[in-house]
Chains A and B, each alone.
Chain A
Amino acid sequence: MRNIIIVVVACLMFFAACRREADIQTSFYYWKSAFLIGNDEAALLDSLAINELYVKYFDVKWNRNTSAAEPVAVITFPDSASRHYAMIPVVYITVDALRNTPDNAIPALAGKVLSLIKQINAATGVHMREVQFDCDWTDQTRSAYFHLLQWIRQHLPADTRLSATIRLHQVKYRLRTGVPPVDRGMLMFYNMGELGQLEGPNSIYNAQTAGKYVSFCKNYPLPLDVALPAYSWGIHFREGKGMGILERLRAEELERDTLFEKKSPFLFQAKQSRLLHGDYFIMGDFVKIETISPALCEEAAKMLAPDVKKEDRKVVFFDLDSSTISNYTIENFRQITDRFR
């Protein structure tokens, strides 16, 4: 199929923006596979009057042994915490799963995905008002992904909203990557750097990279909610190459162990070769801590806010976890959200 891009003469639609203060709601992603809300988290949600969370239900991954796409890390609900919150199911689909699923098997896969979502809803009493898909699709996997979304859209009740995460490169290169056939997008305003670079800037958020992409957001043809980073991690480097991600790691934890020498506020080097908490470090390995402080998160919000249309939207923080919220105050979250009003 020839992909014609009409560069010269496009029909533009203009939306008249009505002038009232936009309705901005705060929410969080819940990304762990057992849904447990601690007291601190519950108190925070309560203070921010949040009763709706984006909850990752499962990942869809390609299983090479069985040559089939299958759900992985399916969420469990060990207690009744889920009953207190409205949940928006989120499903993460790997590009591998899409690439390996033949076109004619996409409807079957979509059917299984929707069925599993419904089973989880039924088990936890969720009345689904929105469902979100998360996938870093590319031009090669676009048609499979969009086909899957279309199938889901057709099989959802009309009043259930379908949304999809949108990465920054998908905003900038939308002519190439296409715009997913969904009702709303969730702009992921993070993961913008080159992760595999020891010397590079913070890969979660840095203003310089953000600046190259942010101006494209205004013209994105979907209404956009906004996801902002509020997390930390460590990146394990060997010989200058990224080896893996150490989830939710903070500098203080490395400061406590004798294995590491602190080279800078965010760079730690292994002094010997040994195990630590199930990971193996070779002498000379580096761990780069990337943290999004409340100030940096607010900076991101400040940069993005003028470049998205003024409209009702959700501002969603990634992610709800005790380590995240221990570094943020309620006021921090309020102020950051207010940037979009």
Chain B
Amino acid sequence: MKTFVKLLIASVSALVFLVIALACAGGDWSEEEAKKSLFDQSIMLDNPQDQAYQPYFRMITTPFFGNPDTAESNIAVFNDINVHEWADFFNKKITEAEISTLLYSTDLSKIDHLIFYIKDNAYDKIPRELKEYAIAKLDDKAKAKEFLYYLGFAKRCEPIAADDSGAWNYDTEQAKPFTAQRCDELITGGIKSAANVKNAFIRERYAFQICRLYYQKAKVHDQNYQACLQYYNGVKDDFKENKVIRYRSMGYAAAANFRQGKFAEANYLYSLMYDQCPEMKTIAQYSFRPQEESDFARSLALAKNTREKTVLWHLLGIYGDEARAIREIYALDPKSELLNLLLVRYVSTLEETVLPENYQWVYSYATDASPRNTASIGFTADSIHSSELNLIRRIADQSNTQKPYLWDLSCGYLYVLKNDSKTANDYFKKARQKAPDKALLNDQLHMLDMILKINDLTSISKGFEDGFAKDLDWLLNGKKSETLSTDDATFYIRKKLAEKYLAQHNEVKAMLCLNRCVPDFYFNLEKMDRMIDFLKQPAHSDFEKTILGLYPNTVDHLKEAEAILLAYQGKTDAAIAKMKESSGAEKVLMGNPFTIHINDCHDCDHDAPQKRKFTKLSFLEEIKKMEGIVATGKSENDYFLLANAFYNMTYFGNARDFYACEATDIETYGMFLFPLSEDYRHPAGKPYEYIFDNSRAEKYYLLARESATNPETKAKCTFMAAKCEQNAYYINKPADDVSDFKAGNYFAQLKAQFSDTKYYKEILKECGYFRTYVGR
């Protein structure tokens, strides 16, 4: 067991180490999955001190990645802190802007000029603008000089301190950023300066630089981390003036320990940094990596008091076992604020095991009609283990923690997940009594109350609708606490409502709650008519108004969908009538839907000059005109044009935009039928099958051939029928059939009957499939 991906930023590579959890082979595991939740961890933040723990909320459900990049390699994060500290050092006599300039954008030669000038105001080589610096005019010249000497030293150390590992440069032995000798020179110089400098604030900063030089030298050159530790141990008690510098030095000592395999010492230092230095908190948490129980036990032994022990447990909790940490900290100090984060993380971890798989994904694609989304969701009594529940309940019942309401709320929520509404409500009642009056808590409880109501529901009555209307409107449209994420709860409630309505055979309301929960809805005229009737009702109840707000379609959209369906059913008159009632009538088709070629090329047809542009309506009207002509007498040309129209309005033709409309939302390009997000063979694609059906086109090509007298035309009609035949093969072939084409009846007929036509030669030239067939 060597490394674990979640911890090792150096191993994100995935030729092998990451695999996808989707139904296709050979993909990589996605890097991050959004947290799914009905429980807002922010609930623990009821005073400003709590904010420090927010970065450690559980945020992702796939813990392979997602650790922050270590700030140790990003020293820029300390720039602002340095500027503030120096400004304080000079009692604000030097502005932060000037300090920032001196620290980060003034080169060494200018620092030297300043030093010379301060030593001797007659020094005349100083650039004029430097004379205007407040540092040059400071009364306390000794202080200014010590600062500038230190600054020069720090700037010399900078190339060594800046860890370039994330950059696009390759450090080779020849091109290492610095030599060991250079480190030694600076270390010797630094130690000497630190001994002479009068100001403790500056002395500590020299000490920090020296710690870092030792560490970087060990890392790049000689692995002598012990030298770093030795120096640190000699100066560690002298850090009194600079808080952040003290802990940054400690960070190098911790890392030096870690690199030597002294995990107990390293993790103990990290725990101190986490607890005592907000600026280092995230780095410390990230770096805290106990390896074995024995080294963690030794870290505990290093702890000097209860607080230090509880911090170590707290970090172990975040690292891997919140429950164990909660037990240990509660035993040591029940009032510890360190428990709060662990509790919300623990609850959050538990809910992940209960909320449905792909929950968030399902929400994002709530319009997806595939079976995965039509599966029922809900909670059961055994979804939370009793040992997990008992721990939280025991502490909640004692009511002796820092935030007793947080334990009641959490305990109640676990009962929600166990589908025990009564006990959940009992705990929520307690939480309300104990809680400070906080909007977030009330909103969280309100949301969970709604989930309880939905879970307890056997059937949806008018009375329920009226009672629930206000709640639902609040959830969807009302004012709520900013941090409260309602997405998952909203989806849960919509999904459960839709399920109940479906059980009551009320598809209209089910669709209003969750569009597309009835997969064939937009492929069924009666169903759409029922929706239109509902939408057109003169009055709706408050509840109905709220769910109408969720529904994306209008009467106009539905009429267009109906017109399209009628057109594919061959009911041209009815299709025209419906289309006229919809704004879809005016939608312009990209290509001429009556044209056809040997090779299908939609882009070519769309780009081709078109004397007449057809709209959805005028296309249908033209079809009706031609149908009228062929009904009265045989016309090979009109049969052929009709066949082209019927071909082009399928998936294979240039007028896919005819079947595109808001209600069905079928994608018109690619092999994929969004909103199905599956390929066309997926069973859920059944309602869409008319899009692939070329049989009407084939029939009309044959009718055209029958009425034609010219062998050239006959050959052409036969070839077009062959295209229809091939399409049918392609669409219906089994998934494991990888061949591209299968010669059918019409290729045989072409070869047998039309080989002396000009058209035959053309198709031989242009159609590879046919050439292959003939060549066999």
Contact = CB atoms under 8 A, between A and B. Distances in A.
Interface of A: 2-12, 29, 31, 33, 56, 59, 61, 63-66, 70-74, 90, 92, 94-96, 112, 115-116, 119-120, 123, 134, 136, 138, 165, 167-170, 172-173, 175-176, 188, 190-197, 203, 209-210, 212-213, 215-216, 218-219, 227, 229, 231, 233-234, 236, 238-249, 253, 273-282, 318-319
Contacts of A61: 12
A253 B16 contact: no
B69 interface: yes
B738 A167 contact: no
Nearest to B354: A239
A278 B2 CA distance: 9
Contact of A245 (B4, B319, B772): B4
B14 A134 contact: yes
Given A65-B68, A119-B169, A195 B20 contact: yes
Contact of B168 (A59, A96, A115, A273): A115
A188 B320 contact: no
Nearest to A197: B21
Nearest to B668: A2
B16 A319 contact: yes
A233 to B, nearest CB: 8
Interface in B621-646: none
Nearest to A166: B26
A243 B7 CA distance: 12
Contacts of B69: 63-66
Contact of A195 (B19, B321, B670): B19
A112 B168 CA distance: 6
A276 B652 contact: no
Contacts of A209: 25
Contacts of B68: 64-65
A215 B723 contact: no
Contacts, number: 257
Given A219-B738, A276-B1, A213 B25 contact: yes
Contacts of B468: none
Contacts of A193: 19, 25
Given A275-B290, A319-B15, 18 more contacts: A8-B723, A8-B741, A12-B772, A64-B69, A65-B71, A66-B166, A73-B10, A116-B170, A136-B28, A138-B27, A173-B24, A175-B671, A190-B26, A216-B738, A242-B21, A245-B64, A277-B292, A278-B4
Contacts of B62: 242
B671 A215 contact: no
B692 to A, nearest CB: 10
A227 B16 CA distance: 11
Nearest to A120: B170
Contact of A136 (B27, B169, B319, B727): B27
A273 B324 contact: yes
B347 to A, nearest CB: 14
Given A209-B25, A218-B738, A4 B602 contact: yes
Nearest to B740: A10
B296 interface: yes
A12 B769 CA distance: 7
Contacts of A275: 290-293, 296, 320
A278 B7 contact: yes
B671 A73 contact: no
A196 B726 CA distance: 40
A322 B260 CA distance: 24
26 contacts: A4-B602, A5-B671, A6-B600, A8-B741, A9-B599, A9-B600, A33-B11, A70-B166, A123-B174, A136-B26, A136-B27, A167-B25, A173-B24, A173-B679, A176-B670, A191-B25, A195-B20, A197-B21, A219-B738, A234-B1, A241-B352, A246-B4, A249-B1, A277-B2, A277-B291, A282-B321
B16 A229 contact: yes
A292 to B, nearest CB: 11
B49 interface: no
B195 interface: no
Contacts of A231: 16
A194 B290 CA distance: 30
Contact of B63 (A5, A170, A195, A243): A243
B264 to A, nearest CB: 12
Interface in B1-39: 1-7, 9-32
B13 A59 contact: yes
A100 B205 CA distance: 39
A66 B69 CA distance: 10
Interface of B is mostly: loop
A190 B166 contact: no
Contacts of A6: 599-601
A11 B768 contact: yes
A96 B5 contact: no
B166 A172 contact: no
A250 B291 CA distance: 19
A7 B691 CA distance: 14
Contacts of A241: 352-353
Contacts of A136: 14, 20, 26-28
Q: List 8 tightest A-B contacts by C-beta distance, closest first.
A: A280-B320, A167-B26, A168-B26, A169-B24, A192-B25, A119-B170, A136-B28, A123-B172
A10 to B, nearest CB: 6
Point out which of B165, B603, B679, B738 has the most chain A C-beta atoms below 10 A from its C-beta.
Answer: B738
A247 B5 contact: yes
Nearest to A249: B1
B439 to A, nearest CB: 30
Contacts of A216: 738
A88 B387 CA distance: 54
A96 to B, nearest CB: 5
A94 B29 CA distance: 10
Interface in B602-621: 602-603, 606
A253 B166 contact: no
Contacts of B353: 238-241
Nearest to A278: B291
A282 to B, nearest CB: 6
B675 to A, nearest CB: 16
Nearest to A257: B1
B74 interface: yes
A136 B25 CA distance: 11
B736 interface: yes
A123 B173 CA distance: 8
A166 to B, nearest CB: 8
A246 B1 contact: yes
Given A12-B772, A176-B671, A279-B4, A165 B292 contact: no
